[in-house]
Amino acid sequence: MNVTIIGTGYIGLVQGVVMSDLGFDVVCIDNDEVKIETLKQGKSPIYEPELEETLKKSLKNGKIKFTLDYNSGIKNADVIFLAVGTPPLADGSSNLNYITAAIKNLAQFLSKDSLIITKSTVPMGTNKKIKKIILDELKKRNMGNLNVSVISNPEFLREGKAVYDFLNPDRIVVGIDENDNKEKIKKEIYKIYEYFLKKQIPIIFTNLETAELSKYSSNAFLSVKISFINEMAMLSEKIGANIEDVSKIMGFDHRIGNEFLNAGLGFGGSCFPKDTLAILNIGKNNDCEMSIVNSAVKFNNDLKDILIKKIKNKLGSTKDKTISILGLSFKPETNDIRESPAIKIIKKLINLGAKIKVYCPQGMEKTKKELENYSDCIKYCKNEYECAKNSDCLILTTEWEQFKNMDLERIKNVMKSNYFFDFRNMFSDNENIRNYFHYYPIGRN
């Protein structure tokens, strides 16, 4: 089966590379010439475990191609996936300009009946608008007789585990327009996702609006769960409770589950912040107050200030202090720094007069671009030991496995002072940690 994917960001690239490895003949289209040339050379512009190795394998086997050209890219397509970014606007709503431009480009070259599958996270009603745009463009070309179906098939991938998640989904959601031939589309979906049917992964067929809302609802709920446990962590510090034990106790309750119950710096990345703001905007436009989601977003933002206050209280002042930050990506096993809590912490500390040293296994280059205006205040280091050298304070902001194995005595010996704020609780069970540091985890004393 010939598959075309429009967009080579985190979602589109993973989709294309993994589908090619499953045996599909894949063409990926993007308007970024530099990115396309990079991908043709077998280099992934994003860090994701197993992604680059699989990309190189598929290129060698001739199962994946990359192009700027829509005409050649969709000419032989049996199915077309839309995986174009929908970044937030200032009011929290989704910017649909990129996906609209992609759709108009696509419609210029459609020449046969087509199944278009939207992977992008889009507000309710967007897929119907996509279909209308395509049909309007086809009519301009006197090709309005083509049968075009647009379905919603939201992704639920976790950055850092995207390849694994693509191959092992909890469920597959397919939203179909009530005016389309549902049985015909179901047969096509079963062919495309035969691999998952064999693994007995449930495929849930529903209408477009339900599929669109399911992605926002899932991410909003997980965001609420994260903010909830972090709020409990702040209370734990006040009353002498241990948030990790609290989380464990809660997690044994099958109604709650143990996922997303790790206290820390709050949620970040390309999805949760964007999607929670989007659902708030959607609620506002539909006269539906989303008070729970709004509270989760507010606390997530406030949490950084709460933790900065904690640092100031312990250090006495942050002015002219050298503070080392370990971890820049919003989570481990990715180089994505979008809405990273670490970046927000760094900006706040610089504004309070601190000098910053940073190290991250994958997030350094993107951080240099993001914090270009702060370059005079930041030193980028080659490892955790250089980062800790002569610092007054160490803050662990991303739980990379590499940090778990650092030599704590060596870290302590190279520091000027020995304050250690472990905002991911990586060392909270280490019996010797307090022999080396004034140690401050999250949600426990």
Tell me the CATH number at 261. Answer: 3.40.50.720
Boundary residue ending a domain (144, 168, 201): 201
What domain range is 153 assigned to?
Answer: 2-201
Phi, psi of 273 (to 5 degrees): -60, -45
Mean pLDDT of 220-243: 98
Give dist(CA 425, CA 15) in Å, integer. 33
What is the arrangement of strands in the sheet containing 148-152, beginning at the earlier edge strand?
64-67, 25-29, 2-6, 79-82, 114-118, 148-152, 172-176, 203-207
pLDDT reported for residue 259: 95
| pTM recorded for the entire structure | 0.93
Inside any domain, residue 341 = yes
Contact 398, 332 (CB under 8 A): yes
pLDDT confidence band for 144 (50 / 70 / 90)? confident
* For residue 303, pLDDT beyond 90: yes
Count of domains for the chain = 2
Which 8-state DSSP code applies to residue 103?
H
pLDDT reported for residue 426: 97
320 burial type by CB count under 10 A (0-12 exposed, 13-18 middle, 19+ buried): exposed
429 burial type by CB count under 10 A (0-12 exposed, 13-18 middle, 19+ buried): exposed
Inside any domain, residue 209 = no
pLDDT reported for residue 279: 96
What residues are annotated to the active site?
A: 271
Q: Is 122 found in the same domain as 174?
A: yes
**What's the token pair of residue 350?**
């610089």
Q: Is 256 found in the same domain as 164?
A: no
pLDDT reported for residue 63: 98
Inside any domain, residue 315 = yes
Q: What residues have CB less than 8 Å from 351, skipping those under 6 apart?
A: none
* For residue 445, pLDDT beyond 90: no
* Cβ count within 10 A of residue 11: 26
Inside any domain, residue 210 = no
Inside any domain, residue 393 = yes
Q: Is 393 found in the same domain as 284?
A: yes
Q: Is 296 found in the same domain as 263?
A: yes
Q: pLDDT per residue over 313-351, tens digit each?
A: 999 999 999 999 999 999 999 999 999 999 999 999 999
pLDDT, the chain, mean? 96
Which 8-state DSSP code applies to residue 372?
G
